[in-house]
Amino acid sequence: MLTKLGAIILLVADMKKSIEFYKDVLGLPLKYQSEEWTEFFGNGTALALRAAKDREKTKSAPTMLTGFMINDLDNTVKRLKEKKVKFFKEPKEEPFGKHAIFEDPDEHLISIVQLEAKSAEGFDLLGLIGAE
C-alpha cells in the first residue's frame, strides 16, 4: 500500500548545471551529491536528481510539475528573473492566491504559489497545473 510520497525524481541532462540551479538559484538545502544522484531536503519528501543515460530524452515536452508554497511571490519572481530563469506561466492572481510556473535547465516545470489564508485550508494541488 502506498502511504507517503518519498521523493520526486527528475532525470537531468547535466547534473552540475541542475545542482547549481536547485541549490544556488532556488536555494534548496543539499542533502547528498554525486555524479549520478543528488538529493535536496533532509526530512520528509526529497527532491532527487538522476543523471539521464540518454540526454536527448530529457529535452522532450515537460511531463512533471513540482510545486512549492512560498510566502512572497513577488520578491521570489523578481529574484528568479534577475537570475535569468525562464517562466512558463507569468505571475498571476488566481482564486487560491498568487501563482507562477518556471522551468529548470531540463524544462521541468516548477510551480510556486503564495496562498491566500482563506484558500489554503482546502487547497487543490491540481489547480496549480493549468497554464494559459
Walk me through the domains of the chain, giving residue ranges and CATH numbers: 1-55 (3.10.180.10), 61-123 (3.10.180.10)
**Lowest-confidence segment of 15-24, 76-85, 111-120 by average pLDDT:** 111-120
Query: For residue 74, which phi and psi values (nearest 5 degrees)?
Result: -60, -50
Query: Which helix (H) or strand (E) element contains residue 80?
Result: helix 73-82
| Mean of pLDDT values over 81-100 | 93
Per-residue pLDDT, averaged over 84-105, amounts to 92
At residue 9, the pLDDT reads 86
**Res 67 pLDDT > 90:** no
Mean pLDDT of the chain: 83
Phi/psi class of residue 5: alpha, beta or left (left: φ > 0; alpha: ψ in -120 to 50)?
A: beta
89 vs 54, higher pLDDT: 89
pLDDT at residue 121 is higher than 60: no
